[in-house]
């Protein structure tokens, strides 16, 4: 398996390049999407986030209000680290699971992170 890490600043074309790799048959694991997946209402990370930061960070539909949470954590480094401790391990586990799954399906796969 070939693993490629795709990094860059905001609005530098990462999504465009990942899409191009995907069109060529590469497996693309999008960390931003994994974050959105693990914080869906009712999931363990969502429960931990609501427990830690309160219901004031929720939209009426119980999804996390990302701007509200962002304004809270970006002005308080300790709170940002709390959020990272909740989200990062779960995203890493899901990324590892998807990597193993891709390797089982095609040991010669090209995997883009």
- Model confidence over 46-60: pLDDT tens digits? 999 999 999 999 999
Q: Which of 27, 40, 15 is nearest to 99 (CA)?
A: 27
Full residue range of the structural domain in which residue 49 is found: 2-112
pLDDT at 112 over 90: no
Judged against a pLDDT cut of 90, whether residue 37 lies above it is answered with yes
Residue of 104, 16, 17 whose CA lies nearest to 4: 17
Q: What is the band of 104 on the pLDDT scale with cuts at 50, 70, 90? A: very high
Burial of 79 (0-12, 13-18, 19+ CB in 10 A): middle
Total structural domains in the chain?
Answer: 1
CATH number at residue 101: 3.40.50.300
pLDDT of residue 10: 84
pTM of the predicted model as reported, rounded to 2 decimal places:
0.84
């Amino acid at each position: 398996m070939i693993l490629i890490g795709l990094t860059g600043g905001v609005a530098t074309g990462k999504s465009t390049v990942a899409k191009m790799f995907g069109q060529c048959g590469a497996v693309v694991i999008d960390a931003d999407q994994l974050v959105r997946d693990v914080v869906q209402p009712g999931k363990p990370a969502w429960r931990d986030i609501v427990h830690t930061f309160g219901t004031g960070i929720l939209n009426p539909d119980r999804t996390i209000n990302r701007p509200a949470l962002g304004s809270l954590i970006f002005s308080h480094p300790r709170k940002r680290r709390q959020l990272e401790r909740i989200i990062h391990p779960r995203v890493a586990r899901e990324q590892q699971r998807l990597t193993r799954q891709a390797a089982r399906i095609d040991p010669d796969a090209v995997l883009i992170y």
